Amino acid sequence: MAKVNMTTYDYLKTNHLFDTLVVMIDKMQLKEEVNKSATFFAVTNYSIHKYVNAKRDQLRVSANDENLVFTFDSLNLSSLKDSLRAYMFNTRVASDNLDVKGQYIVAHNGEKRLVQARPTDDYTNVTFTTKPIYIYLTKIYFTGDSTALPQNIDEVTQLSDAYLLNTLCQTTGIITTTGTLHVLSNQHTFTYFLNTN
């Protein structure tokens, strides 16, 4: 774990990987809420860029206009406020209080997320024989009639109308003066957006 002598917001502001996120936080007036979060899963510029591109592609299909222009400035940020709150939690999340089964935690927007610490074989080699443990933030997406959130991960995998939108944290355990910060993978799409067109 790395400790930094600044707030979560100020740390984000010092790192260019979060320039777009900071703009969103400022325009949504969520600075204080970010700093009051016990845990914040930060999305990178890449995650937000992927969301903007996916929205653009969706709108191009629905408008039947392949030249439709849609950029970050086209976003209705006030309507995305709760989407950003889905990454803020009052629960402290750290690898030392997680396991493979995981736990559900409630985000500031009221949605539950599954958080797990899972080992990976991706980086195991002759030099490093211990499997690294990664934190995953997961949204459970229902395609059918399921309304009750399963009690644990074993129940989720048995549901035919649910699947897991897993996001690996590329950096974890940054301890700021106001909370804990984890950074989601650049491969993550902000809001877990699914373009179904």
| More confident position, 40 or 122 | 40
What predicted TM-score, i.e. pTM, was given to this entire model?
A: 0.88
**Other CB atoms within 10 Å distance of the CB of residue 144:** 9
Domains and CATH numbers, the chain: 2-187 (2.30.180.10)
What local confidence, expressed as pLDDT, does residue 196 receive?
43
Q: Which of 47-56, 60-69, 152-161, 164-173 has the lowest mean pLDDT?
A: 152-161
| Segment 146-180, tens digit of pLDDT | 556 655 555 555 555 567 788 999 999 999 999 99
Tens of pLDDT, residues 80-127: 999 999 999 999 998 888 888 888 899 999 988 989 998 876 655 666
Give the pLDDT of residue 125.
Answer: 60
Which residue, among 103, 188, 109, has the nearest Cα to 149 in the 3D structure? 103
Per-residue pLDDT, averaged over 183-193, amounts to 93
Interacting residues of 67 by C-beta distance below 8 A, sequence separation 6+: 60
Q: What angle do CA 128, 94, 77 make, to 5 degrees?
A: 115
Q: What three-state secondary structure class fits 183?
A: strand
